[in-house]
Amino acid sequence: MIMTGQPALFRQTAFQGMAALVLDVGFFTSQFRLCDKIAEYLGDLVAQSHDDPARYANFSASLINEVIELAFRSVHSGDRVEFNLLKGDDSVYLRVGFRCSEEQLALLRTVDRSRGSTPFPEPARDLMALAHAVGVDVHTEIDRDDHITLTLEFVLSEGPR
């Protein structure tokens, strides 16, 4: 369920951009409730082309919320968190990119090694546990020395109906 090192998969030309949002966390870190708002908003967008948008929005927002909480916990003030929604043929991908500290990156790297196994290492443990439980793929890419991008794949023909 967890993969890294597949940047080719996300050569963005293969997908259509649906939405993008960049937050400068310096302005927002104290506002935890923003996680929830952004999650609901993006969940709504993800679910637009699903058979049952209301229910799929609740489903996708539960995962997106964990990614955003993770991002907000990891970044430092002044950093940016980038959200991109991409549409493939059968899936919508949410990509969340942010800069984080070396220790955190070291820990996140171990996510890859723990592929498929529980318990998942911090700090992505909660996200991975939820994704594993509900059967959603999460890809992690450490794309620069200090930058990580998490990608959630929402397969529109699957999931709740």
| Interface residue list for another protein (CB under 8 A) | 32-33, 35-37, 40, 51-59, 61-63, 65-66, 69, 126-127, 129-130, 132-135, 159-161
Q: Are strands 137-144 and 2-3 parallel, antiparallel or unpaired?
A: parallel
Nearer to another protein, 20 or 134 (CB): 134
* Cα–Cα distance, 95 to 109 (Å, whole number): 17
Query: Could you tell me the smallest distance in angstroms from the CB atom of residue 129 to another protein?
Result: 7
Nearer to another protein, 27 or 32 (CB): 32
Nearer to another protein, 69 or 146 (CB): 69
DSSP tag of 134: H
Nearer to another protein, 56 or 93 (CB): 56
Query: Could you tell me the smallest distance in angstroms from the CB atom of residue 157 to another protein?
Result: 14
Query: Could you tell me the smallest distance in angstroms from the CB atom of residue 57 to another protein?
Result: 7
Containing 87, the helix (H) or strand (E) segment is: strand 80-87
Sign of the CA dihedral running 108, 110, 115, 116: negative
* Cα–Cα distance, 121 to 108 (Å, whole number): 8
Query: Could you tell me the smallest distance in angstroms from the CB atom of residue 146 to another protein?
Result: 25
* Cα–Cα distance, 118 to 31 (Å, whole number): 31
